[in-house]
Amino acid sequence: MVNRLNRFSWKYSLLINVDNTKVMENEGRILIQNEQLELVDMFPYLGSQITEDGECMMEFTIGATLQKIRKSHNIPISTKI
Which pLDDT belongs to residue 58?
Answer: 67
Q: Which residue has better confidence, 28 or 19?
A: 19
Which pLDDT belongs to residue 45?
Answer: 76
- Write the DSSP symbol of residue 28: S
Of 24, 20, 23, the C-alpha closest to 54 is 24
- Parent domain of 16: 2-73
Instruction: Evaluate whether 6 touches 32 at the Cβ level (below 8 Å).
Output: yes
Identify whether 20 is part of a domain. yes
Number of domains in the chain: 1
- On the question of pLDDT at 9 being above 80, the answer is yes
- The model carries a pTM of 0.47
Identify whether 79 is part of a domain. no
Identify whether 25 is part of a domain. yes
Question: What are the pLDDT digits (tens) for 21-79?
Answer: 888 776 677 777 788 888 888 877 777 788 877 777 765 556 667 777 788 888 888 88
Identify whether 60 is part of a domain. yes
